[in-house]
Amino acid sequence: MICQKIGFRQIEVKNGVLLLNQQPIKFKGVNRHDSDPQSGYTISEKQAMADLRLMKQHNFSAIRTAHYPNLPWFAELCDRYGFYLIAEADIESHGTNAVYVPSPEKSILLGVETVSDQAAIRQQVIDNYCYMARSPDFTQAILDRVQANVQRDKNRPSVLIWSLGNESGYGENFELAARWVKAFDPARLVHYENTIFQHSDHQNDTTHLDLHSEMYRSTEDIEAYFATERNTKPYLLCEYLHAMGNSCGDAEDYFQAMEQHAGACGGFVWEWCDHNPYLPQSKKMGYGGDFGDFPNDSNFCADGLVRADRRIQSNLLELKNVQRPLRAKYHNGQIELTNYLDFTHAEDAVSIHYQLLENTVLVQQGQIATPKILPKHTALLPFTLPPNNGSLWLLNLEYRTKHATPLVEKNHLLGVDQLCLFGDKRLPSFYPPRLPEQAHIQHSSREIHITFGNTKYVFDKQKGILSQLLSAQRPIIQRPLDFNIWRAPLDNDSLIKAHWFAAGYHQAYSRAYTMQVGQRKDRVVVQAHCALLAVSQSKILDLNVEYHLFDHAYFEIKIHAKKAPHLPFLPRFGLRFYLAKQQWQARYFAYGKGESYIDKHHATQLGLYQTTPRQNHVDYLKPQENGSHYHCSFIKLTGAEGGLYITAQHPFSFNLSPYSQEELASKKHHYDLQESPYCVLCVDYKMSGISSNSCGPALKEAYRLNETQWDCTFKVSLL
Instruction: Tell me which residues are annotated as active site.
Output: 167, 239
Q: Position 479: which residue type?
A: R
What angle (nearest 5°) sits at the alpha carbon of residue 682, between those of residues 678 and 683? 140
- How would DSSP label each residue in 611-654? E-HHHH----SS--S---EEEEEEEEEEETTEEEEEEEEEEEEE
Q: Rounded to whole angstroms, how far apart are CA atoms 554 and 499?
A: 38
Sign of the alpha-carbon dihedral angle for 217, 221, 223, 225: negative
Answer yes or no: are the C-beta atoms of 642 and 471 closer than 8 Å. yes
User: CA 410, 32, 703, 701: dihedral to nearest 10 degrees?
Assistant: -140
Distance of alpha carbon 314 from alpha carbon 317, whole angstroms? 5
**Residues sharing a CB contact under 8 Å with residue 657, sequence separation 6 or more, in sequence order:** 613, 616, 617, 627, 676, 679, 680, 682
> Would you say 244 and 694 are in contact if contact means Cβ atoms under 8 Å apart?
yes
Give the number of other Cβ atoms within 10 Å of residue 2's Cβ: 3
Say if CB 320 and CB 416 are below 8 A apart: no
The answer to whether 460 and 476 are in contact (CB under 8 A) is no
Q: In the β-sheet with 11-14, what is the strand arrangement from edge to edge?
A: 11-14, 17-20, 23-24
In what order do the strands lie in the sheet containing 393-401?
361-368, 350-358, 393-401, 413-422
Contact criterion met (CB below 8 Å) for 626 and 620 = yes
Q: Is 226 buried (19+), middle (13-18) or exposed (0-12) by CB count in 10 A? A: middle
Q: Which residue in 59, 44, 43, 52 sits closest to 77, CA to CA?
A: 52
Q: Report the b/e string of 591-600 with b at 16+ CB within 10 A.
A: bbbbbbbbbb
- Which amino acid type is present at position 490? L
Question: Do 77 and 48 touch, CB atoms closer than 8 A?
Answer: yes
Tell me how far apart the alpha carbons of residues 86 and 199 are, in angstroms, rounded to a whole number. Answer: 26
User: What is the number of residues in the chain?
Assistant: 719
For residue 593, cis peptide bond before it (omega within 30 degrees of 0): yes
532 CB-near residues (< 8 Å, 6+ apart): 483, 485, 508, 509, 510, 539, 540, 541, 543
**What span, in angstroms and rounded, lies between the C-alpha atoms of 105 and 573?**
39
Burial 83-119 (b: 16+ CB within 10 A, else e): bbbbbbbebebeebbeeeeeeeeeeeeeeeeeeeeee
